[in-house]
Chain A
């Protein structure tokens, strides 16, 4: 999976990493049971502090997206996919309701951005 962090972004680096992991699960690039890179390795690869990566992993663990164990690293939890599937279902419902009202996908996007 491709990770990219932007030091100039207003979103802090740990949040950027966490967002990309969630997006990776949504796109199917990360599957339940798949191991993420060790925090030290990902930190070195992205030129960020290891603890920044650990904060991202801890955030995802608290959400139930990751499981972590000392000495074994971090991996995508079995339930991570179900969270995304539920979100997909909600989006499908939202688009169904929007079409009934004659709204396009662009209209829905603008509504979401204003939310």
Chain B
């Protein structure tokens, strides 16, 4: 009976996940049927830094692209959901990206079409705070991700303990540099330069632009904070410190360590890449691969991807006497 109930719940969740992927296409179709008679032939499609439209796009081709692309994403999503051979972790993380992409494509139609329809012409379609709506697709992806049936429990194993002599003190320390994150930071910085240097040199930097520039600068700092890490395991416990900011990102004192295991870590199981925090669990996931999972005496878990986790895990087991 329990198996049947679990299977039913899984089927319902799969159905709901599929439904979230068709919602963007449905909204595009609904808006077309509602506005078709009164929408102008051209839509505002590009705005200057002040939110005034300075570029247009033909209405019908944009609608055809939006409906075709959102339906395609839905079909891809169905395949990913229903093909059993796909790894559950990959399936779950794919749902986030498919949901976000479908929502972004729908927003790329809905916002220009909605503003132009409301204004009556492309020239009057001022963007204002609607800019923030382009960020909502990233949040929309969380919905199908949450609904996708859960992945299997983390597969862990205990490594051999590191044996220390009675008069020996042991410590493990490693610098971990993630090239991909340095690349991401450089990309964001490059984009910021492309967007804001012309504005600054032209003297057209207004309040909204400054906010955007600050946000991008903070994003670069946040990514760089995790691009280079120093991980230390010693008599005090485990500590993870940012090489750039020297900020202590994570610390678990030795007397709070309940168990330590080596595990094969997948971003989908821990909420994605980077520094992840959820109820009772946190993780620093820099790639798919081996890592260490620390369970505290309170039952919370912390996971960290490491190139060779066996020795620090074995050392922490010895020092924590687990």
Contacts and interface: CB of A to CB of B under 8 A. Distances in A.
A and B form one complex: yes
Interface of A: 1-9, 34-37, 41-42, 44-48
Interface stretch (B162-170, B185-193, B202-210): B162-170
Contacts of B170: 2-4, 46
B173 A37 contact: yes
B308 to A, nearest CB: 8
Interface string B266-308: 0000000000000000000000000000000000000000000
A27 to B, nearest CB: 11
B171 interface: yes
B175 A34 contact: yes
Contact of B174 (A1, A5, A7): A1
A44 B171 CA distance: 10
A46 B233 CA distance: 10
B227 interface: no
B167 A3 contact: no
Chain A residues touching B, majority SS: mixed
Interface string B208-235: 0000000000000000000000101011
B173 A45 contact: yes
A34 B230 CA distance: 11
Contact of A1 (B164, B165, B172, B243): B172
Closest 10 CB pairs of A and B: A45-B171, A45-B234, A8-B167, A37-B173, A4-B170, A6-B168, A2-B172, A35-B175, A7-B167, A3-B171
A45 B230 CA distance: 13
B315 to A, nearest CB: 7
A23 B171 CA distance: 16
Contacts of A6: 165, 167-169
B168 A2 contact: no
12 contacts: A1-B172, A1-B174, A2-B311, A3-B170, A3-B173, A4-B171, A6-B168, A6-B169, A45-B173, A45-B236, A46-B171, A47-B169
A39 B37 CA distance: 74
Contacts of A1: 172-174
A41 B164 contact: no
Contacts of B162: 2
A46 B168 CA distance: 9
Interface string B148-192: 000000000000001011011111111100000000000000000
